């Protein structure tokens, strides 16, 4: 999914050129698939840690 180079917002409509967060004209770049996978793994690890803390 493309992300804004100005503030990092994600969008499916990068052809419009308006950032959904800051409402300014932005340039868009595609995310590297390896980075996306690493982010998902990190999010899952954080979620698991929170679950484990709540079970104590």
Q: What SS3 string covers 1-56?
A: CEEECCCCCECCCCCCCECCCCCCECCEEECCHHHHHHHHHHHHHHHHHHHHHHHC
pLDDT digits (tens, 9 = 90+) for 36-46: 677 788 888 99
pLDDT digits (tens, 9 = 90+) for 5-35: 777 677 666 566 677 666 777 777 777 766 6
Domain positions in the chain: 2-55
Half-sphere exposure of 32 (CA within 13 A, CB side): 4
């Amino acid at each position: 999914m493309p992300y804004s180079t100005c503030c990092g917002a994600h969008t499916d409509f990068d052809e419009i050129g308006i950032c959904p967060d800051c409402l300014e004209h932005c340039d868009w770049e595609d995310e590297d698939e390896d980075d996306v996978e690493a982010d998902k793994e990190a999010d899952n690890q954080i979620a698991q840690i929170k679950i484990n803390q709540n079970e104590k």
